[in-house]
Amino acid sequence: MLGWAANSMALAQPLASGTIYYSRYQFPQGQPMAELWAISPDGSADQRIAVNLPEPGFPVPSKQGLHLALTSLDPAAQNQIRRDVFLFHIQSGALSKITGLRPGNIFPVPNFPASFPFHKAFSPDGSRLAILFYNFASATVPPYDSDDDGDADTLPFSSSSVIPVLYVFGADGSAKDLIHIGEFNEGLYHGGNGVDWSPQQDLLAFPIKIAVPFANSPVNGFVTALFAIEPVQDAMNVGRARRLTSPAGRISSIFEPPSVTWQNDFQPAFSPNGQQVAYVRLQSIISGALRQLSTPSLRIVNTDGSNDREVIRLKVGDYVTHLSWSPDGNLLVFDLGKQAVIQGIPADLPVTETLELYLVKTDGTGLRKLHNAPAAFPTWSPVGQPANLIPIVRRTTPQAVIAGSAGFTLTVSGSNFAPAAAVYWNEMPLPTTFISETQLDAVVPREKVALPGTVIVAVVEPNSGVRSRTSVTFTIERAARLTIRATVAANQTVRVMTLFWPITGDFFLEETESLSASWREVQVAPITSGNEKLVPIVIGSGQRFYRLSLR
C-alpha cells in the first residue's frame, strides 16, 4: 500500500497546530475494541486518553476543542447490540450520555434495532450535535419519536435493511429533530457515511444515495452524492437541501467487455473557514459478473458546488474511512488501509487491522505517514494536548518496608497526574496529596503493612475512573527475627534484644522478655555515646553500627 508514494515520505514535515484524536484498536478474541488516543501533528506526544467507557471510539471534537463526541457501548448496558453517543469534557473528564435506548430495547428482544451512531458533528457553538445512525435489521427507526406522539418513528417500508437516519440533538441529549431518513439499503451505497457541520453557518454536509443517468444506459443507476442540508426537520422534502457533488456512472458500450462503473462520494469535512468541503470518492467497477477492488481519491469542492477537484488518487484496493482538516486549512489527515474482501467479493469496508494515519497538503503534495496500524478515524482539534492523559506510575519511595512497621508517607513518581488523582493500594484508595503532575504523596497507615506480602500501587483519575496505564509492586518484607545477647559495658548487665533484619538507618532495639528459640549469639562491642550505646553488630562478613537504646 502506498509504495508509489515512498519518495513523498521524505518531504519536510508540514507544520500545524492542534491535536489529532483517533481510534486505536485492540483485538481481544479477534474483535476490534477501540481506545481513544491523541497525537500531535508532528507525530510526538502520542498518548492514550482516559475515558470511563468500554470502547470509546470515533472521536469528534467540538469547534472550540472543549468536548469530544464518542461512540461506545453503554457501561450500564453492555449486553446491548447498539452503540450510544457520549459527550466527553476533555479537561475534566466529565462524561454524559447523549443518546439512549427505549425501555425494553435490549438484546435478545426480537427485531432489536441494532443502531450504530458512528458519524457525528458539532454545531458552530457546540450546543447541538448532528448524529447519523446506521440502523440494521428493523423497520423501526430507533430510538426516537420525532413527532412527539409517544411512538417510535416507522419507515415507509417493512423489510430489514441498512438505513441511515440523521438526527440533530441538543448537546445535553434534548431537542432531537429528525433531519433525514435514507432509502432502503442506502447504507450499502455509502449513503449516510459521514456528516459534518459548517463552522461558520447552520449547514450540514451529508451523503445521500440518488439515481442519475449512467453513460451508455437507457435507465438510471445509483450513486451517492454530497448534499448541503439545513438542520431542519425533513430537510430534503421541504426544499432545504442542495447538491454539492456530481458522481457519475457508466455502462460499457457494445464494443467493450461488459462492465459497470460508478462513484460514491462520502465522508464530508468542512474547511475551517467553511468555504470548502473535503471528501472521499470511491470508484467501483463490476467487470463481467465480478466486482473488482475499488479506487479511492480525496477531493475538495467549494460549498457552492464549484471547483470540484482531486487532491490525491490512491491505489486500487485502498480504503479510507475518515478525513479531517488542520486548523489552518493547509492539511488533511486521513486513515488509509486495505479494502475488505468477503468470500472473494470486495466490500465497502476496510480491513481494520491495516488502517494507518496519513497527512497530505491540500494541493496533494507532502504525503507522509503519521501513525502505523491499527489507527483509524482521525479528527483534528484546534487546541493542544488535553490535560487528562492517562497517568503513568514509574516508581515509589520507599519500595519496601518490614512487616509491622509504623505508618509512613509513600511518594509515587510518574507522569500525567491530575490534581484529584488518588493513589490506590491494591484496590483501595489512600489519602493522597497532589504535589505535581509527576509526584503524589499518599499516607499508608500501620495496619496496611502489618503482614508480609506484595501490593500493587496504581493511580486512578476519579473523574474518568480510569486506572494508570502502569503500576508498580510494593513489597512488605518478612521480618527476619535475629535475637542477640548484648553485653552493655556501662553496668555489665545483659539485655536480650530482638533485631529485625534488614534494617536501614537508625533502629531502636526493643527488649524482649526471654530468649527466642531461634536465637543465635552475635558478638557485639558497645561504644559509649552519651546516654546511648552504638553497637557494632557483626553478621556474616559485614559489620554495621546500630543505635541501642538503654532502658
- What is the C-alpha separation between 272 and 275, in angstroms, rounded? 8
Does residue 356 have a pLDDT over 60? yes
- Worst-scoring range by mean pLDDT, 12-26, 145-159, 318-332, 475-489? 145-159
Q: Do domains 3-381 and 392-477 have the same CATH topology?
A: no
- Worst-scoring range by mean pLDDT, 3-7, 49-53, 211-215, 460-464? 3-7
Does residue 255 have a pLDDT over 60? yes
| pLDDT interval class at 163 (50, 70, 90) | confident
- Worst-scoring range by mean pLDDT, 131-145, 173-187, 410-424, 443-457? 131-145
- What is the C-alpha separation between 464 and 467, in angstroms, rounded? 9
Pairing mode of beta strands 400-402, 472-477: parallel
* Span 392-477 CATH architecture: Sandwich (2.60)
Q: What is the mean pLDDT of residues 60-89?
A: 86
Does residue 281 have a pLDDT over 50? yes
The pLDDT of residue 466 is 66
Domain extent listing, the chain: 3-381, 392-477, 480-548
CA 325 to chain centre: 19
The pLDDT of residue 90 is 82
Tell me the average pLDDT of the chain. 77
The pLDDT of residue 380 is 95
The pLDDT of residue 354 is 94
Does residue 58 have a pLDDT over 50? yes
| CA-based nearest residue to 169, from 100, 241, 115 | 100
The answer to whether 133 and 169 have CB atoms below 8 angstroms apart is: no
Sign of CA dihedral 507, 513, 514, 517: negative
Does residue 270 have a pLDDT over 90? yes
Does residue 530 have a pLDDT over 60? no
The pLDDT of residue 454 is 93
Fold entry, domain 3-381: Neuraminidase (2.120.10)
| pLDDT interval class at 383 (50, 70, 90) | confident
Q: What is the mean pLDDT of residues 465-491?
A: 63
The pLDDT of residue 315 is 96
Does residue 53 have a pLDDT over 50? yes
Residue 4, φ and ψ in degrees, nearest 5? -70, -20
Does residue 11 have a pLDDT over 90? no
Q: What is the mean pLDDT of residues 411-440?
A: 89
pTM above 0.85, yes or no: no
The pLDDT of residue 386 is 60
- Worst-scoring range by mean pLDDT, 21-35, 118-132, 323-337? 21-35
Express each pLDDT in 433-450 by its tens digit.
999 878 999 999 999 998
Sign of CA dihedral 433, 435, 438, 441: negative
Does residue 102 have a pLDDT over 50? no
Does residue 141 have a pLDDT over 70? no
Cell readout for 439 is 509526584
The pLDDT of residue 547 is 40
Does residue 524 have a pLDDT over 60? no
The pLDDT of residue 349 is 86
